[in-house]
Structure 1
Amino acid sequence: MPELTQDDLRILSAYAREENRELYWNYLAHKDGNDGYGLLALGVVRNDNAPGATANIFADNRAREGGIRMSEREWNQFGVDLMRRDLDERRGQLDAGRPDLALNLPVRDVQDVHDRSFQAHQIDPNAWTPREFLQAARRNGGEGEAEQAWTMMLDNTALGLSRMRTTSWDTMHTYNDQDLDATAYMGHMAGARTLATQALPNTDSDRIGAVSSYALYDARSKQWTQVTSTGEMPTSQPIRDPHQLQELNDTRQLRLERQELRREFHPDDPYRNLPIVRSPYLLSDNTPSNAQEQATQVAAAASVATPDQPGHPRFALHQQCSAGVDALDRQLGRQPDQSSACMTASLATLAAANGLDRVDHVFLSKDGSDAQAGQYVFVVQGDPKNPAHLRAHMPTDQAVTTPVETSFRELAQIDQRQQLQQQNAQTLAQQQDAPTHGARTLGV
C-alpha cells in the first residue's frame, strides 16, 4: 500500500524548515503511489505551466479584489506557510496511524490548509482555484463526491482534456446550485486562464513580467529594460524609477535564492540523483509544436456547454434572441420550428459580433427603398427611437438556413478573439499597474 514513512516525514520536515518549496513538492511527486498533488503543486510553485499560472493569477486577482496586493516575495512566503501547514496535516495523519492518507491527503485536509493560509493573509479562501467547485460537489453528494471531483482534477492524462471537459460540465450543470454562481466562477477561471497564456516562469531571474511586456536584466551593465511586444517590432526603454528598480532587484534576488535552494537536496533524499520532476504541459499550454492539435482539443472541450444551455456565458443573450424570434413567429401566425432555432442562434452570433451586450428587440425590415419586407432581420439594444440605440442586421434567409452548430462555432470563435483582445489589454494594464511583481506564486 502506498504510504508515507517517518523517514519521508523527516526529509520533508527539513525541506519545510529550509523554505525549500520546490524540493518539498518534488519529493512528494516522486513517491510511488502519489495522487498527483505534488506534481500539480510544482507547476504552481514554478509558474511554468498553464494550471500553475492560472492558479497564481486567480489567487492574485481575488486578493486584489479584497484590497490585498502582494509582491512575489510575499507570495513566496505565503507558499512557505502553506507548505508547512501541509506538512502538519501529513504528520497528523501519520500519528493517527494512517500512513496512506499521510501520502495522499483527503481533499478536506488540502482545502483546510488553503483556507487557513488564505485567512492568515486576510484573503478570501475562494482564492484557491478549485474551492467553489469542491464546495458545490459536497452540497451535491457529500464528501465522497468532493473526493471524486478532486481525483478528477489531479488527473493529468490526455493533456488534461478530460479534466477540463468534466470540470466545465459539472460546474455549468451538475453543481450549478443557488450557492454557486457558475457563470461568474467560470468567467473568473477563463479570465485567469487567458492571462496565463502570457505568463512567464518565475525560474528566470533576468526576465520578470509577461510574454508581451517584461523587465529584462542585463548582467553586463546591471541595468533593467522594459520590453513591450504589442506589434511586429518590440519596443524597449530603460527603467529608471527607483521604487520599480528596488522591487525588480528584490524579485531577482528571490529567484536566485530559489535557484540555489533547488540544488540543496537532503543527503538522505532518495531522489537527489534524479532530475526534478518536470511540470506537465497540459491543454492550455500554447507550445508551438502542438498548437494546432491543442486548438482542436480546446474546441472539443468547449462543446460540452453551448449558448442554449443554462450556465453558458452567452445563455442570456441566446434567450433574449429566442424571445424576439418567438414574438416574430406569433406575429406571423406560425409555430416555432427548426428555422426558428437557426434564426435564434444566428442572431445571438450577430449580436455578439457587433458588440451588443443584450438584445431588447428583434424585427424584420419593412418594404421600402432600401429593402423588401422581411428581407433583413434586425437585433436592437435599447429603444429603437433613441438615437443612442445599437443595432445589427443580416439577411433573413441566411439567418433561418445557417445550422445552429455553425452559428455556435462562429460565436465561440468571436468569444475567443474578444478574450484575446481583453487578455492583451489586461496584461498591459497589469504590467503598468505592478510591473515588478512578476509571477506571484501562491504555492499550490
Structure 2
Amino acid sequence: MAEFDYDLFVIGAGSGGVRASRIAASHGARVAVAEEFRVGGTCVIRGCVPKKLLVYGSHFAHSLHDAAQYGWTIEGATFDWATLRDFVASDVDRLERAYTSTLNTNNVEHFAERAVVAGPNTVRLASGREISAKFILIAVGAWPVMPEIVGAEHCITSNEVFHLPELPRRVVIQGAGYIAMEFAGIFNALGSDVTVVNRSDVILRGYDHDLTARLQPIMEARGVKFGFNRPIREVQKLADGSLLVHAGEGDPIPADVVLVATGRRPKTDGLGLENAGITLGKGGEIPVDAFSKTACDSIYAVGDVTDRVQLTPIAIREGHAFADTVFGGKPRSTHYDAIPSAVFSQPPIASVGLTEADARAQLGEVRVYTSDFRPMQNMFATQAERGFYKLVVDAGTDKVVGIHMIGPDAPEILQAAAIAVKAGLTKAQFDDTIALHPSMAEELVLMR
C-alpha cells in the first residue's frame, strides 16, 4: 500500500491551486483538492472576471450618451441592475463548472469543505477526517481587509458588491487602489453618485505618476468626487436604512452603500500552519523560496497567500512551476520582472516594467518619451478626454524598460508591448517598426 493517501493535497481551488492540481496529475501524481467555498477562486468567483463584466456593462452608458454624435437616435434607453447582476452571476456559474470539469477530467478528487494543516504530511477536513499526503500545497489566496471603524458591519467589500439587491443611488468608497478606482468608474457610469475617500492624497500608489495625475481629473470630470486625507471614522445607519459616513474632518457623506477597498490580506487565519513549524510574516503571508517551498520541506504555497506578487497570472505560473518542479522532474521558478498590469478604471490604465521614478533610482540616466493625443474614438465624445503613452528608456543600453498608458483599450494594447519589454528590445527597434494607421497603438512607435 502507498505510504500516503495522496501524492499531493491542495488546499484551495483557485487559479493557482487548480493549475497545480492539473499539471501534477498530468505528471502521474495522485491529487486531491479541498475548497471551502466555490471552485475557481477569487478571480473567477468574486474578482477580476465578474468585475470586468461589470466594466463592460457600464461602458454602454458612455456609448449611449455619445451615440447622437454618430447620428444615432436612441429613445427610452433604461438600465436594469438586476439583469446585469444576474448575467454576471450566471457566467460565474459557468466558469465554476468549467474549473470543476478540469479537476474531474484530470482525476483530481475534490472535497467541498475546509481543510487545515494538521502536520507536515497531514490535513484535516472540516468533517474531522484526516488525510495524509507526501506534499501539501497551500493556495487559499487573500481576503479583503476591513479596518476597525465604528459601524463596519454596515459596510461591504468587493466580495459582496456583486450581489447588491439594487443599484445604489449613492456610493461611498474607501480606498484608492485598483479595486476602488474600478468600482468608482463602474458605479459612476451606471448612474450612482460616487464619492471616494482615502487616508492619503495619492491614488493607485505604485503606478507611474503621469498616469495617476491624468486619471483623477478625468474621473472628476465624469462626476466622481474625491475626499483625500479623510479615512472613515464611523458609518451610521439611519432610521430609513440609509447610511451616514463620517470621514476625516469634513461634513458627513450620505450613502446607500459603503464599499471598503483598503487592500487584501493572505487568508491564513486558522490554517494550522504552526502544526508544520511554519511561521507567518507580519502581514499573515507565507514565506517561500524561489521554488514556492515553505520552511517545511513537504509544504509549498503559491498565489496571493505568499509574500510575492498578488496577481492571478502569477498564481497560475507559480502553480504550474511548482508541479513541474516537484512532480515533473523539471525544476523551474517564476520570474517577477516585466509583469504587465492594468487597472480597468474609466479610462483604463496599463503598465509594464519600471516607472520613471523607479528607473531613475535604479538606472541613473534614463530617457523618457511621451505621446499626448486625443484618441480617434473620442472625437465624437462630449468630453474631450486625451490618451497618454509613455516609454521609459535606459540611456546606457537604449532598452525600453517601462511602458505606461492611459486611454481606451490600453490593457489590450499593452499585452503585446509587454513582450517587447520582456525581450529587452530597444527604442531604436520600436522606431524601426512601421506604424499601424490609424490606431492608438501606433503611438508606441512614433515617439521621437
TM-score range, shorter chain: under 0.3
Q: Per residue, is there more helix in 1 or in 2?
A: 1
Structure number with bigger Rg:
1
**TM-score normalized by structure 2?**
0.26
When the two structures are superposed, what TM-score results if normalisation uses the length of structure 1? 0.26
Going by fraction, where is strand more abundant, 1 or 2? Answer: 2
